[in-house]
Amino acid sequence: MPSGMETIVKIEVDGYILTSVVFGNIDFTIGDDISFDFSSKSIILFNRKNQRFIATGSLE
């Protein structure tokens, strides 16, 4: 879902939905298989059941 300078991406992995914000102009097609990694310096985690904040951190 493009929304200006960022795109909200929802990825299904083993029955779980991962939601991410990707900065820049990127177009994806619904249903396509994609590869992804966690290359950002900062991530924020939320509980999938109650959507509450869990933690924030760095991959470095």
| pTM listed for this prediction | 0.57
18-32 per-position pLDDT tens digit: 888 887 777 788 888
Is the CA virtual torsion 25, 29, 35, 40 positive or negative? positive
Token pair 């960022």 is at which residue? 6
Report domain extents, the chain.
1-26
Looking at residue 34, the DSSP 8-state letter turns out to be -
- Which residues of 6-52 form beta strands (DSSP E)? 6-13, 16-23, 43-46
Specify whether the CB–CB gap between 43 and 56 falls below 8 A. Answer: yes
Tens-digit pLDDT profile for residues 40-49: 667 787 887 8
Residue 57 is inside which H or E element, if any? strand 53-57
Q: Which two tokens stand for residue 57?
A: 């951190």
Q: Give the residue with greater pLDDT, 50 vs 56.
A: 50
Confidence band for 59, pLDDT divided at 50, 70 and 90: low
